[in-house]
Amino acid sequence: MALKDAQVGTRNEAGIATVIGSLKQSYGERFQTGEAFRAQHAHTTTYIPSQVPDGVFFPEKSDEVKAVVSLCAQHRVPLIPFGTGSSLEGQVNAPYGGISIDFQKMRRVLEVNSEDLDCTVEPGITREELNVYLRDTGLFFPIDPGANASIGGMTSTRASGTNAVRYGTMKDNVLAVTAVTANGEEVRTARRARKSSAGYDMTRLFVGAEGTLGVLTSITLRLHGIPQMIGGGVCSFPTIRQACDAVIMTIQLGIPVARIELLDALQMKCCNAYSGLSYEETPTLFLEFHGSEETVALQSAQFSEIAAECGGGTFHWTVNAEERTKLWKARHDAYWASRALAPQLAALSTDVCVPISQLSDCITQTQEDIAEHGLLAMIVGHAGDGNFHVLLLFDDKSTEAIQQAEAFVERLNNRALGMDGTCTGEHGIGQGKMAFMAQELGGTVDLMRQVKRALDPMNIFNPGKIFHL
């Protein structure tokens, strides 16, 4: 049988029926086929239609993951890992049916090595749960994508977020993973050493693979000390370009900003209304600095000078924890604040990332595009990385509006790629951005296909994501 004939590409009804029967018999209530369970596990926070799995399995330990992978491989049935369902590009959909593996019962902290600044966790634990657990150690895990996502999901989508400008993304903070491969074997990709020259970097291969190469069962993470002092604040600017100029100068001068977030005027209007704030409704930067009392004050003063030079207003900053929490709660609620502007409309959240020198041009051209086509959309970005998000509100009952939304996303991605950027800084590819992979990476996509075929010859791991075989 040719490889392409053996791969999952259509529903394998006989195999699915056999696997469902076996899982029901072996795991009882920890395997569910009810319509409500299945619908919840195809939930996608974008306009991409849901595609439900045939059943949902809740493993409690890695041996059970190994068993279900072996069973599904034997009968050529797809497996779709599931964390919290907060992915944005259809990563948890089941286009060919199959079994969703929900890790909510695998959320333990397996090990904390305080002296080495690392820990090992199961994939189902969320970033907030992990930081609550770590609080008494004086350590924290800094990657903050906004949603209270699972560590397994964050690893699989190579997530980042508001702290990435200082602490990096998941690829910088995952030291090792254990993963169950297509033959049912559990492999560990690395040891806990901070660096190694031992062969291929298999850890980075699984980080960002979106569950297409295997099922993660544990992740070893780099931790950081909780800063002695944290200062944060806001600064408004007349234009997006001036705000971006302040970001570029801050980064180029080497000021160790922990967070530097950009919100456009419409997004600020939404945040003010939703979160009860009273900031100027102009392009605004939210910032945060970590360090000692002296360094936080120094960095805040340095940014104030930069803001003034770029035409910005006063940088209002504080070290008061309650005030900072209110500020960042408003930033993290930006999605819901935007939805509240027109709750009758659907939302499409998309992101791109460009070299930081291109950020102001890319955002300015995107705003011109939005205005020219009469779209309702707001922009928020992790400006220190050159990464920004557009939330487009549109009528998903209208074929014309859907076509306009898709055309806008295509123009946005082409614009970013034309500036030597990427079609996604942190959302991942999933189903939604597959069309841009060849344009961005060319023949490298064929190399990815070879890796996929080598590690998953039956194409059971999250098929129909990132690229078509």
Q: Domain holding 191: CATH number?
A: 3.30.465.10
- Please state the rounded mean pLDDT for residues 193-198: 94
Is residue 460 domain-resident? no
Instruction: Write out pLDDT tens, residues 344-386.
Output: 999 999 999 999 999 999 999 999 999 999 999 999 999 999 9
Domain with 235, as residue range(s), is: 229-335
Per-residue exposure over 166-191, b if at least 16 CB sit within 10 Å of its own CB, e if not: bbebbeebbbbbbbbbbebebeebbe
CATH number for the domain harbouring residue 350:
3.30.70.2740
Is residue 465 domain-resident? no
Last residue of a domain, one of 210, 225, 240: 225
Burial degree of 344 (CB within 10 A; 0-12, 13-18, 19+): exposed
Check whether residue 96 and residue 66 sit in a common domain. yes
Instruction: Write out pLDDT tens, residues 93-111.
Output: 999 999 999 999 999 999 9
Mean pLDDT of the chain: 94
Check whether residue 262 and residue 190 sit in a common domain. no
Please check the confidence at residue 85 and state whether its pLDDT lies above 80.
Answer: yes
Look up residue 291 and give its amino acid.
G
Q: Which positions ≥6 away from 385 have C-beta within 8 Å?
A: 160, 164, 165, 353, 356, 425
Last residue of a domain, one of 168, 196, 225: 225
Is residue 151 domain-resident? yes
- Please state the rounded mean pLDDT for residues 81-86: 95
Check whether residue 61 and residue 144 sit in a common domain. no
φ and ψ at residue 75, rounded to 5 degrees: -110, 10
> What residue has token string 């849901």?
50
- pTM value is 0.94
Last residue of a domain, one of 225, 258, 293: 225
Is residue 430 domain-resident? no
The answer to whether 358 and 231 are in contact (CB under 8 A) is no
Check whether residue 387 and residue 368 sit in a common domain. yes
Instruction: Write out pLDDT tens, residues 252-310.
Output: 999 999 999 999 999 999 999 999 999 999 999 999 999 999 999 999 999 999 999 99
Check whether residue 241 and residue 204 sit in a common domain. no
Is residue 130 domain-resident? yes
* DSSP-assigned beta bridge partners for residue 109: 121
- Please state the rounded mean pLDDT for residues 225-245: 95
Is residue 431 domain-resident? no
Q: How confident is the model at residue 9 (pLDDT cuts 50, 70, 90)?
A: low
Structural domains of the chain, count: 4
Please check the confidence at residue 4 and state whether its pLDDT lies above 80.
Answer: no
Is residue 433 domain-resident? no
Q: How far apart (Å, rounded) are the C-alpha atoms in residues 172 and 168?
A: 6
> What is the distance between the terminal CA atoms of the chain, rounded to a whole angstrom?
16
Check whether residue 242 and residue 199 sit in a common domain. no
Task: Tally the residues of the chain.
Answer: 469
Is residue 144 domain-resident? yes
